[in-house]
Chains A and B, each alone.
Chain A
Amino acid sequence: MELVSNHLLTFILFSPVAAAVIIALLPRDQENLIRWTAFILSFIPLGFSIALWLGFSSATPGFQFQEQAVWYAPINSSYHVGVDGISLTMVLLTTLLTPLAILASFSITDRVKSYMALFFLLEMGLLGVFLTLDLLLFFVFWEFGLVPMYFLINQWGSEKGEREIWGGRKVSARAYASFKFMIYTMAGSLGLLLAIQMIGVVAGTFDLPQLYAAWPALDQPLFGMSISTVKSIAFWAFVIAFAIKVPVWPFHTWLPDAHTEAPTAGSMILAGVLLKLGAYGFLRLVLPLYPAESKAYAGALGLLAVLAIIFGALASYGQTDFKRLVAYSSVNHMGFVVLGIAAAAFAMGTENATIALNGAVLQMFNHGLSAAAMFFLVGVIYERTHTRNLNDYGGLFPLVPVYGGILIFTSMASLGLPGLNGFISEFLVVRGSWPILTVYTALAMIGLFLTGAYILKGIKMVLHGPLNEKWAGHISEISAREIVVIAPLMVLMLWIGVWPAWILNVINRAVEMLF
């Protein structure tokens, strides 16, 4: 036990790798054995992270459970991990969603073994980003997560659909989407990579706590340019990489394709956790490393956030594909996270900034819950109807009353109905941002109104209206396994909506420490 409690983060980070290895050793044709083993093994990281949550002291400032070991000594990069309230929340979200996503993947029948092993590798990559306190390792995990995700979309994505590319050649939609996802993100990360190299050369270390002190204080000219120019360029290199991942308008175009073509569980993780990496990058790297630049460019960032909120909602409303509708809703919801971050950057240290940032982090967690749940529900209906076209549904409520109830509950959480989780976080963001970026916040409220419109449109076209006769007798109610997937998410949505203090206490302390 001593070993585990001293290296808790290492165990959280690498238990998924161990799980992947175990899965890889199972016989290929025992599909049920593989599924159940994967499901059970996925509780190990969850168990560790619950232990982490319970052992975490929200009164203590700074990073806890730190560990440091030699990794790449000649360039001063080390295996340094630690958690604060922000990363703790994200770790909990990741380890919570993984078992649910694996349970949701029980309907996968093609190459189950590779699928499950890739899923665990993906979990490792995501956890690594949240846990590491070394800039180089941050990038290592940041990029590494792309690989399993690429193959999940490319190999297990939706089988229908074609896209025309240059020269009129046709490729399958999932190949197009996965390629776009990979290249878009890799190209976006180039600037980040170069900026990290530059920081490493100038500062001589990649250790984040040291960089927090050294990098913002740096004031001599570099490379024949003034330090403020260099820092501004590096700032934008960071911002673009993270903005693509969030995604902030206009860097969001990879998202609808990737989300739509990914398998259900892939979309759950993609929307639930992967998008948070971008926002987490803003919080962990951009704000502490570039306080002055963040303040200077906060207005521009806020504007992009508002555009993401409004355009995301409008685009979502315009969709006829149910999964695309949910995909665009992520652009809309993540816009609030960025708005909160922009407001906080503009007025660092004030009470309003703290409120906005609390809201932003909580919104990350909440969107993780509700987006994962929404994608799962889309997957449930798709498995029964084999269509995602909203016009093909209609009046399904009487056929699937339980499903209908769950869909409405989840949609309401996503819409921000008071009493459910989305309301708390969006209110906090708006409350905190209002005194700082008043006009933008007011415009964001229009987006909130449009959010209501597209969510109701989704509900209406699936559940209400005249029954599309072809489904009568051909569509089955949501199964017990599927209810087990969605139930924990619904419990958390309600719990945070009614009593958010348990999670906000943890977040708040970390947010105050950021400045």
Chain B
Amino acid sequence: MQFPILSVIVFTPIIAGILILLIPGERKTEIRVAALAAATFAMLLSVWAYFSYDVSAAGYQFVEKYAWLPQLGISYHVGIDGMSVPLVMLTGIVMFTGVLISWGIDDRPREFFAFLFILATGVFGVFVTLDLFMLFFFYEIAVFPMYLLISIWGWKETREYAAMKLTLYLFIGSMVALIGALAMYFVAGMNSFDMLELERAGFSAAFQKVAFPFVFFGFAVLGGIFPFHNWSPDGHVAAPTAVSMFHAGVLMKLGAFAALRVGIMLLPEGAKFHMPWIILLTLVNVVYGAFIASVQTDFKYVIGFSSVSHMGLVAMGFATLNHQGLLGAGVQMFSHGVMTALFFAVVGMVYDRAHTREIPRLGGFRKVMPLVALAFIVGGLVSMGMPGFSGFIAEFPIFMGVWGRQPWIAIVAAISIVITASYIIRIITKVFFSPMPEEFEGHVGDVTVLDKAALVLLSAILIVIGVYPSIMVPLVESGVNNILRLLGGA
């Protein structure tokens, strides 16, 4: 029997989380080491899955299928294709680096890591599952621990508010999506939640047009689509660093990915009907998000809104429904995940030492933490779409895809590049290079070796993909071809 790599990846975190709960709470070092070991194991497996995926064969690989509740047509069915493989690896990487930079958490680390790992299982599960019911199951597992993580370990000023807002938004979103999904189940009448079978259900165009908005927007809320993006910056800011990394780095991709897999892939006719106006919403995401980010004074809010802008590009790539746009969106999900994890890690490191995130009050951190400055510059260049970094590799095809649909949208969206560049440069010069205020002089030290390891890993990924895109794009392209097949070669 083939090694069940996907099941091992999915259940490693939750099992590790339960085992960690068994360790006595005061033995904090053991807890951290156990967490790191589990995270390393999951990451290595996800990297292994990435590199052993056979691009030339394409399709769903490492498939496992067991009946779960056959009376209702629910099965435990997992498998990954070119779209989900990079996201599984992304989750592994963010989990690993998240544990590394959370080493210093002193308030109940046992419960913190346990909740974080339960969340990770949910995320892995959504990316690998091929069963619609299971997808919802894992989706809720991913959303629920977020509430506790933010409201217990979050920023004292806004954590209750943000946790409540985020959870309500996402629950409502998933309820709306569930309505659409149940409708699909009953209309198909195949007594099956298996998505590969639902793909062949032959839904009528009229049904698809009605059901598509439910499913797409229900999930896209988590992807931060305008006008339902409002929860995301508040949530990012209130969350502790590792949770922000997870949240912006992986969770938002969860929404986008589910919207793609359930919305676009199962209801292609609905997608074709609605996308011409949805692309306008994504344009608002991209440009408005960048503008709002540029006027923030709180370091973390800048990054939060920049995520709204960048995730807008993912949705825009989806909305083109063509080869280049989907390809770019696939790469952008990975690239943005790594970049934003890097950003939130840096913000957390600065905040831990300065105890403020007000940009005008910060300055001179290059001198005490040169590597952090360098990592932020790399992330910043990715964010502004600088060629030679992964952001360019992702955004360029998205724009090409938009040219194939609505040329003027590409032209308007391009404004966001300059706005992003201007606020990123402003932050780099102010936070890292301007003279250091006296209050920090002598009180602020460098980051730990673990922090540095996390930053180096994340930065290296961004550069490698930027310089040599062939390490990822053929993989994503194989996934895109499958989507295009469902769309009827459009």
B interface, size bucket: 35 or more
Task: Give a binary string over A343-376; 1 marks a CB under 8 Å from any B CB, 0 the rest.
Answer: 0000000000000000000000000000000000
Chain A residues with Cβ below 8 Å from B323 are: 74
Q: How far is the CB of B212 from the nearest CB of chain A, in Å? A: 26
- Please tell me if the beta carbons of A75 and B421 are within 8 angstroms of each other in the complex: no
Task: Give a binary string over B351-390; 1 marks a CB under 8 Å from any A CB, 0 the rest.
Answer: 0000000000000000000000000000001001011100
Stretch from B176-184, B271-279, B402-410, B448-456 that touches the partner: B402-410
- Please tell me if the beta carbons of B473 and A72 are within 8 angstroms of each other in the complex: yes
Residue from B400, B415, B422 within 8 A of A197 (CB atoms): B400
Chain B residues with Cβ below 8 Å from A71 are: 468-470
Chain B residues with Cβ below 8 Å from A197 are: 396, 399-400, 403, 410
Q: Which residue of A lies closest to B418 (CB)?
A: A187
- Please tell me if the beta carbons of B477 and A74 are within 8 angstroms of each other in the complex: yes
Give complex CA distance A75, B477 in Å. 10
Q: How far is the CB of A322 from the nearest CB of chain B, in Å? A: 27
* Chain A CB within 8 A of B5 CB: no
* Chain B CB within 8 A of A186 CB: yes
- Please tell me if the beta carbons of B418 and A75 are within 8 angstroms of each other in the complex: no
Chain A residues with Cβ below 8 Å from B433 are: 154-155
- Please tell me if the beta carbons of B429 and A154 are within 8 angstroms of each other in the complex: yes
Give complex CA distance A147, B392 in Å. 14
- Please tell me if the beta carbons of B400 and A201 are within 8 angstroms of each other in the complex: yes
- Please tell me if the beta carbons of B414 and A73 are within 8 angstroms of each other in the complex: no
- Please tell me if the beta carbons of A175 and B429 are within 8 angstroms of each other in the complex: yes
Chain B residues with Cβ below 8 Å from A141 are: 387
* Chain B CB within 8 A of A13 CB: no
- Please tell me if the beta carbons of A74 and B387 are within 8 angstroms of each other in the complex: no
Give complex CA distance A179, B424 in Å. 11
Taking chain A's interface residues, is the majority helix, strand, or loop, or is none over half, making it mixed?
helix
- Please tell me if the beta carbons of A198 and B407 are within 8 angstroms of each other in the complex: yes
Give complex CA distance A58, B297 in Å. 58
Q: How far is the CB of B331 from the nearest CB of chain A, in Å? A: 10
Interface set, chain A 98-157, CB cutoff 8 A to B: 136, 139-144, 147, 150, 154-155
A144-B387, A147-B386, A198-B403 known; A179 vs B477 contact (CB < 8 Å): no
Give complex CA distance A141, B386 in Å. 10
B393, B407, B426: which has the most chain A beta carbons within 10 Å? B407
Q: How far is the CB of B390 from the nearest CB of chain A, in Å? A: 12
Taking chain B's interface residues, is the majority helix, strand, or loop, or is none over half, making it mixed?
helix
* Chain B CB within 8 A of A514 CB: no
- Please tell me if the beta carbons of B410 and A72 are within 8 angstroms of each other in the complex: no
Chain B residues with Cβ below 8 Å from A198 are: 403, 407
* Chain B CB within 8 A of A51 CB: no
* Chain A CB within 8 A of B425 CB: yes
* Chain A CB within 8 A of B397 CB: yes
Give complex CA distance A136, B407 in Å. 19
* Chain A CB within 8 A of B327 CB: yes
Task: Give a binary string over B308-352; 1 marks a CB under 8 Å from any A CB, 0 the rest.
Answer: 000000000000000110010000000000000000000000000
Q: How far is the CB of A362 from the nearest CB of chain B, in Å? A: 30
Residue from A74, A140, A183 within 8 A of B421 (CB atoms): A183
* Chain A CB within 8 A of B447 CB: no
Give complex CA distance A150, B433 in Å. 13
* Chain B CB within 8 A of A91 CB: no
Chain B residues with Cβ below 8 Å from A139 are: 387
Q: How far is the CB of B489 from the nearest CB of chain A, in Å? A: 16
* Chain A CB within 8 A of B417 CB: yes
* Chain B CB within 8 A of A182 CB: yes
Task: Give a binary string over A192-209; 1 marks a CB under 8 Å from any B CB, 0 the rest.
Answer: 011001101100000000
- Please tell me if the beta carbons of B417 and A186 are within 8 angstroms of each other in the complex: yes
* Chain B CB within 8 A of A190 CB: yes
A198-B403, A198-B407, A200-B400 known; A140 vs B392 contact (CB < 8 Å): yes
- Please tell me if the beta carbons of A73 and B396 are within 8 angstroms of each other in the complex: no
Q: How far is the CB of A176 from the nearest CB of chain B, in Å? A: 11
Give complex CA distance A201, B404 in Å. 7
* Chain B CB within 8 A of A54 CB: no
Give complex CA distance A70, B468 in Å. 9
* Chain B CB within 8 A of A502 CB: no
Q: How far is the CB of B367 from the nearest CB of chain A, in Å? A: 10
Chain A residues with Cβ below 8 Å from B425 are: 150, 179, 182-183
* Chain A CB within 8 A of B59 CB: no
Give complex CA distance A150, B404 in Å. 34
- Please tell me if the beta carbons of A194 and B414 are within 8 angstroms of each other in the complex: yes
Residue from A143, A179, A187 within 8 A of B386 (CB atoms): A143
Known: A72-B393, A193-B399, A197-B410; 8 extra A-B contacts, CB below 8 A, are: A71-B468, A72-B470, A75-B324, A150-B425, A183-B421, A183-B425, A186-B418, A190-B414
Q: Which 3 A-B pairs have the closest CB atoms?
A: A140-B387, A201-B403, A74-B477
A-B contact pairs, 28 of them (CB 8 A): A71-B468, A71-B470, A72-B469, A73-B473, A73-B474, A74-B327, A75-B324, A75-B396, A75-B397, A140-B387, A141-B387, A142-B387, A144-B387, A144-B388, A147-B386, A150-B425, A182-B421, A182-B425, A183-B418, A186-B417, A190-B414, A190-B415, A190-B418, A194-B399, A197-B399, A197-B410, A201-B403, A223-B407
